[in-house]
Amino acid sequence: MSHWRRLGIALIVLLAVVVVGTVGYLILGFDPLEALYQTVTTISTVGFREVDPLTPAGQIFTMVLILVGVGAALYAFSVLIETVIEGRLNELLGRRRMESSIASMKDHVIICGWGRVGRSIAAEVAAAGRQLVIVELDEGRVDTDPYLVVIGDATEDSVLRTAGIERASALVAAVDGDAANSFITLSARALAPALFIVARARSQDSVEKLRRAGADRVVNPQSIGGSRMAAFVVRPHVAEFLDVVMHEQALEFRLEEVPVDPSSPIAGKSLRDTGLRDRTGALVLAVRNEDGSFHTNPDPSTEIRVGQVIIAIGTQAELDALMAFVGA
């Protein structure tokens, strides 16, 4: 039985004792106010004298009322104290456990805002096997189990530090307002200069402002949603294929990005010399250069350089082999 249910039952029993005691004194000849007063003073054992002299029957009734009423009052009081103390204790211990869990995290993703966009982002990030922390101002909106959550204003540095921003790999500013997302981006960039930041923009006019604030990528969900719907009209099969590859488990093929680090054995070699296709089975679709440009469908003579990112498609086993071979 939950503490709140036990407390409710205890209060009902106490109220029933008060009602029975009041009715009993009314039967013994007390006025209504005197009967209620006599019942309350008897149950609370404050030691005041009787309102009127008690008959033997009244004395017996009062003794029974003391035994029953004091027991009910003490039980209700103890359950109330237990509920308050345990609730506060659980809240304190839960916060400590959360802070301890966040303190041990590294390269996690911080999602600011727990609306529809934030929920969708969290589901995709968790499905990719990444750790994440939710930051939300309104505690009433939070239903983040099994995610870790920090209650507070994401524009405040202390809240972002509690979420472990110094050790995070990425932050998503997805609250409702563009101004708030700009402040979050500014604060996050100041606290973690190397952090990868993705910001949500409700209006197209805010895109450039968010970039100037420090966002690496700015996403307008309305614009992307419109483009995606148009793609289903113009090229439905291509759009469906990309959706399946990126978001669903129904197809064995996946898309993956693999960075080329200085220690990678393929750095400085041509795509032909690396033998990626023969060694891993994954197909290289594009190579992204350090300046952000893409070299799509690279020919075998393309040189793989440090700092580039390989975009490949294949089964999960093939992509795992590719990442292991490249050294990612």
Q: Does domain 3-101 have CATH number 1.10.287.70?
A: yes
What superfamily would CATH give domain 109-219? NAD(P)-binding Rossmann-like Domain (3.40.50.720)
User: According to CATH, what is the number of the domain 252-326?
Assistant: 3.30.70.1450
DSSP state, residue 56: H
Nearest alpha-carbon partner for 108 in 200, 20, 171: 171
Alpha-carbon span 1 to 108, nearest angstrom: 38
- Sequence spans of domains, the chain: 3-101, 109-219, 252-326
What secondary structure does DSSP assign to 183-243, as a single string?
A: HHHHHHHHH-TT-EEEEE-SSTTHHHHHHHHT-SEEE-HHHHHHHHHHHHHHSHHHHHHHH
Q: Indicate the residue type of 181.
A: N
pTM for this model (two decimals)? 0.61
pLDDT of 48 reads 67
pLDDT of 248 reads 64
- pLDDT tens figures, 279-325: 899 999 999 998 889 999 998 899 999 999 999 988 888 989 999 99
Pairing of strands 294-296, 132-136: unpaired
pLDDT of 161 reads 93
Pairing of strands 309-315, 283-288: antiparallel
State which H helix or E strand residue 18 sits in.
Answer: helix 3-27
Which ranges of 45-109 would DSSP assign to H, the alpha helix? 56-103
Alpha-carbon span 154 to 163, nearest angstrom: 9
Nearest alpha-carbon partner for 72 in 2, 19, 13: 13
- pLDDT tens figures, 69-101: 888 888 888 877 776 666 555 565 666 777 788
Residues with pLDDT less than 70, the chain: 1-4, 47-49, 83-95, 143-145, 247-251, 328
CB distance 197 to 216 below 8 Å: yes
| Residues with Cβ within 8 Å of residue 210, at least 6 apart in sequence | 173, 178, 181, 182, 185, 199, 201, 218
pLDDT of 153 reads 92
CB distance 101 to 93 below 8 Å: no
What are the strands of the beta sheet with 196-200, ordered from one edge?
Answer: 148-151, 132-136, 109-112, 170-173, 196-200, 217-219
pLDDT of 88 reads 59
Kindly compute the dihedral angle of the four CA atoms of residues 216, 225, 228, 207, in this order, to the nearest 10 degrees. -30
